[in-house]
Structure 1
Amino acid sequence: MKALFTFFFLAFFGLQNTYAQTSKAIKEDWVPVQKAGVKGGVNVASISNLANSSAFMGVHGGFFGEVQPRESFGYGGEVMYSKQGVTASNIDFGLSYLSVPVFINLYHGKVTFQGGGYGALLFMATAKIGQEKKDLTDNFQTTDYGLLVGLRFRPLDKTFIGARFNLGLQNINNNFTERQNAILRNRNLQISAGYQF
């Protein structure tokens, strides 16, 4: 897991350093912009390869930072809490992650297209039936990673709304199902609103 987060950290700051070195030879009218802010919203999540399952409604929230070295191009990262999971057999299986997405932004007016990846650390998994909860953290892998693609719209200068789909690539199953070789992967649609400082 340390190697995964180290990779995302070096990728994010490596892009910034690369641009700083090459931009000395390029004269542009655009002034690089650095942004930071907060965002949050709802998750519509599921886990692949589970029979008789339906979407799980959760939440996410956290902080973001972005660098926009050119008018049409930038990159950024986030530190997010994300509650996701799946509903199966009338049981809500909730997975709470600390997620670190890293992405490239392509700007077009008030619209931003995003693509990249994420790494996540699981710190709790539960099964909820009515008011009763059971800890299932040991039945899931402690890490997750995957790809992301998103779209963001900025109606006002400092606020935005957006949608993003996270496609998990890691098998998160750790004796959660009777079939120990079952491959389970996270799927998560996030609807967000945010504010830039």
Structure 2
Amino acid sequence: MKKLILITLALISTSTFFGQGLDLGIKAGVNFATITDASGLDNRTGFVGGVFVGGKFNDKIGLQADLLYSQQGAEFELGEFDLNYVNVPIVLKYYLTDIVNVQLGPQFGILIDDDTQTVVGETINDIATNDFDLSGVVGVGLDIPLGIRVEGRYNFGLSDVPDNDGFDKGKNSVITLSLGYSFL
């Protein structure tokens, strides 16, 4: 966690030297999450929200880092797989126009809370989960005048969520839609 905070602070410091200025703000939205490669799971709808910082190197290339609280996981007939993360996506933004950009980069997640209980008969099983999640991020964003930011992202897990040999391995798969406001 300390490393994630240091990376974010380094990006904030670095972005003040960007040619096009600093972009600092808040964002909130909705996640549509599931766990891939595991059978019988349905989407879990959850909240995502936090802060972002970034800037443009030139007219076409920018960088953005977020610090987000993110509700992820999946739902299924025998229980729930509720996972709450603090995520730090760091995306490179390529501007197709002054407003439209495409995004690509890694996301580092720390599990802060989980509820992974299943009920089989009268037995309650608690599935062990990994505390760290590495994902890739692809997305599209709109930097609308007056500081409005609209983003749609797909986060695809690169590391397994369950840390248990008795449960199917699977990775986070999250579609995020968010609305933000830049103060600068």
Partner Cα distance (2:24, 2:48) in 1? 17
Max Rg structure: 1
Q: Identify the match of residue 73 of structure 2 among 77, 85, 88.
A: 85
Q: Write the letter of the residue equivalent to 2:7.
A: F
Which sections of structure 1, spanning at least 5 residues, go unmatched?
A: 24-30
Match in the other structure for 1:105? 93
Higher helix share: 1
- Alignment partner of 1:169: what SS? strand
Q: Which AA in structure 2 matches 1:72? A: K
Contact 1:126 1:135 in 2 (8 A): no
Task: Please tell me whether the aligned partners of residues 34 and 173 of structure 2 are also in contact (alpha carbons under 8 angstroms).
Answer: yes
Query: Does structure 1 retain, via aligned residues, the 8 Å contact 2:138–2:155?
Result: yes
8, 20, 28: which is aligned to 1:32? 20
Establish whether residue 154 from structure 1 lines up as the match of residue 143 from structure 2: yes
The corresponding residue for 1:196 is 182
Moved over 2 A (4+): 154-157
Which one of the candidate residues 51, 59, 62 is aligned to 2:39?
Answer: 51
Q: TM-score with structure 1 length normalisation? A: 0.78
Task: Tell whether the 8 Å contact from 2:53 to 2:66 is kept in structure 1 after alignment.
Answer: yes
Return the letter of the residue paired with 2:166.
E
TM-superposed CA distance for 1:112, in Å, is: 1.4
Aligned-pair RMSD on alpha carbons?
3.0
Asked if the contact 2:117–2:125 (Cα under 8 Å) also holds between the matched residues in 1, the reply is no
Residues of 2 paired with 1:170 and 1:2: CA distance? Answer: 20
Q: Which moved more, 1:102-111 or 1:139-148?
A: 102-111
Q: 2: distance between equivalents of 1:140 and 1:161?
A: 32
Deviation at 1:74, TM superposition (A): 0.8
- CA shift in 2, pair 1:41/1:90, >3 Å: farther
Structure 1: distance between partners of 2:134 and 2:51: 19
TM-score by length of 2: 0.83
Distance 2:61 2:113 in 1: 36
The number of equivalent residue pairs is 177
* One-letter identity of the residue aligned with 2:172: N
Distance in 2, Cα, partners of 1:135 & 1:156: 50
Q: Which runs of 5+ in 2 are unaligned?
A: 119-123
Contact 2:38–2:169 (Cα < 8 Å) also in 1: no
| Structure with the larger strand share | 2
The letter for the 2-side match of 1:183 is K
Q: Name the CA distance, whole Å, in 2 between partners of 1:147 and 1:155.
A: 25
Q: Could you tell me how far 1:102 is from its partner in structure 2? A: 0.6
Q: Percent identity?
A: 24
